[in-house]
Amino acid sequence: METQYNPEMPSEGYDIADAEAIKHSPIASTLAANKQMHFDSADDASVFFARELDYIKSKSYDKLYPEFTALNTLPISHEVPEGAETVTYYSYEKTGMAKIISSYATDLPRADVKGHPSHADVKSLGASYGYSVQDMRASRMAGKSLDTRKAEAARYAVDKTANQIAFAGDPDNGLVGLLTTGNQIPLYTVKTTSGSKTAFKDKSASEILDDINGLTAYQSQITKGVEHADTLMLPTSVFIDLSTRQIPNTGYTVLKFLKENAPYIKNFISAPELEADAGDVNPYGKNVMVAFTNDPEKITFEIPMSYYQYPLQNRNLEIVVPVEERVAGVMLYYPLSAVIATDI
């Protein structure tokens, strides 16, 4: 249940650093000197607005944005220390077979994993929000909270950039994403129709099923049956088409048909980031689908430092709250657990 705003006690707790910063700024004394504010002292004003900030920060921490598909779908990891500048991880490929042996066998076959080191930089994402003394004066007189939308806008900006990195990476800063060229995820070529069409909108339900099962069969083939993706992300326009297009005389939508006949895919995800025109997150410039195993042993989006709001800073007649998050991109521990197909 969402906490209701109490104009007399915005939050039960507060950050002492915030209260001290307000107290030692000209803002607290200015507000306390105004009798309409009903503050007994600068200390009283400082604590009150520190509680205001605690209320706002808590709402910002709790805010989730469903439109950021990677942040809501990929496994999130915080294993890398937040102070790390770089991280090395290993991408693996399972190898080897067992065999029947005699009681005195000395030539036991070796089952192993081949590991290839990969390196990623850890980068900080930063933003800020703030309130002027007039913002604080107006909120106190109206008995309303300071505008939480400013804090939410800062959170949105950081999440948007993190989500973009999860898909496209940031090659200039050494960050790999799900769609980054050269990330070792194999590419699958979908079939063309008799009219040389590859887009799902131009295909029948059976043809689309052939493409999806062909993709998972290709993955099984190149991994000798080890990998079977369980999640399929599709461009939102494609997902809507499959969800609403009826197969004549069956009572089925195409999506329902696919769910019942694609044996390994358990989850179909709508992802606007995979649209052809999603240039900031889709480097292919074409409609893309991504099949992957949604398992943190296979793939993670590494966030060494979760979204954090620092104690406020004084800047003349306003207070500013810096925010930071540290990311290291997508870690592909088993790159063959994912497959990409374009032109759908």
Q: What is the pLDDT of residue 9?
A: 63
Residues 299, 290: Cα–Cα separation, whole Å: 13
Q: Count of residues for the chain?
A: 344
> Residue 249 domain-assigned?
yes
How close are the terminal C-alpha atoms of the chain, in Å? 42
Helices (H), 108-179: 133-142, 148-168
Instruction: Examine the pLDDT at 1 and tell me if it is beyond 50.
Output: no
List pLDDT tens digits, range 260-313. Answer: 999 999 999 999 999 999 989 999 999 999 999 999 999 999 999 999 999 999
User: CA angle 100-105-106, nearest 5°?
Assistant: 125
Strand partners, 318: 132, 315
Question: pLDDT tens, 38-94?
Answer: 788 889 889 888 888 888 888 887 777 888 999 999 999 999 999 999 998 878 765
For 289, phi and psi rounded to 5 degrees?
-120, 145
CA dihedral 22, 23, 28, 32 (to 10 degrees): 150
Strands 252-253 and 299-302: unpaired
- Determine the 3-state secondary structure of 112 from DSSP: strand
Which of the four pLDDT bands, split at 50, 70 and 90, describes residue 334?
very high
Please state the pTM of the whole predicted model: 0.86
Q: How many CA atoms lie within 13 A of 316 on its CB side?
A: 2
Count of structural domains within the chain:
1
In a domain, 269, yes or no: yes
More confident residue, 113 or 282: 282
Q: Which band of pLDDT confidence, cut at 50, 70 and 90, is reported for residue 253?
A: very high
What's the confidence (pLDDT) of residue 37?
82
Can you tell me the mean pLDDT for 97-117?
57
Domain of residue 274, residue span: 187-299+335-342
Considering the domain boundaries, does residue 288 fall inside one? Answer: yes
23 found inside a domain: no
Q: Which CATH number does the domain housing residue 245 bear?
A: 3.30.2320.10
Q: How far apart are CA 78 and CA 69, in angstroms?
A: 18
Residue carrying the six token digits 């000209």: 26
User: Is the residue at 13 inside a domain?
Assistant: no
Residue that is written with structure tokens 């694609």 in the block: 262
The radius of gyration of the chain from alpha carbons, rounded to an integer in Å, stands at 26
Give residue 292's pLDDT.
98
pLDDT, the chain, mean: 89
pLDDT of res. 333: 92
How far is the C-alpha of 235 from the C-alpha of 201, rounded, in Å? 12
Of 56, 60, 34, nearest in space to 144 by CA? 56
Residue 4 has a pLDDT of 59
Q: Please give the pLDDT value at position 96.
A: 46
- CA dihedral of residues 200, 203, 206, 211 (deg, nearest 10): -40
Per the CB < 8 A criterion, the answer to whether 41 and 32 are in contact is: yes
Q: Which of 16-20, 47-51, 134-138, 337-341 has the highest mean pLDDT?
A: 337-341
Percent of all residues in the chain with a pLDDT value above 70, rounded to a whole number: 90
More confident residue, 193 or 9: 193
Q: Which of 186, 149, 183, 151 is nearest to 165 (CA)?
A: 183
Tell me, yes or no, whether 180 lies in a domain. Answer: no
Predicted confidence at residue 58, as pLDDT, reads 87
Q: What six digits make up the tokens of 204?
A: 């029948």
pLDDT value of position 111? 53
Span 230-247, mean pLDDT? Answer: 98
Q: DSSP for 220-242?
A: HHHTTT-----EEEEEHHHHHHH
Cα separation, 289 vs 340, in Å, equals 6
Ramachandran sector of residue 341 (left: φ over 0; alpha: ψ -120 to 50; beta: rest) = beta
Inter-residue contact 236 to 275 (CB < 8 Å): yes
Has residue 14 got a pLDDT over 80? yes
Position 102 pLDDT exceeds 60 = no
> Is 18 within a domain?
no
Tokens at 269, concatenated: 């995800």
Q: What is the pLDDT of residues 121-154, one digit of tens each?
A: 999 999 999 999 999 989 888 888 888 899 999 9
**Which letter does DSSP use for residue 65 in this model?**
-
In a domain, 242, yes or no: yes
Contact 45, 21 (CB under 8 A): no
Check residue 24 and give its pLDDT. 86
Contact of 45 with 32, CB cutoff 8 Å: yes
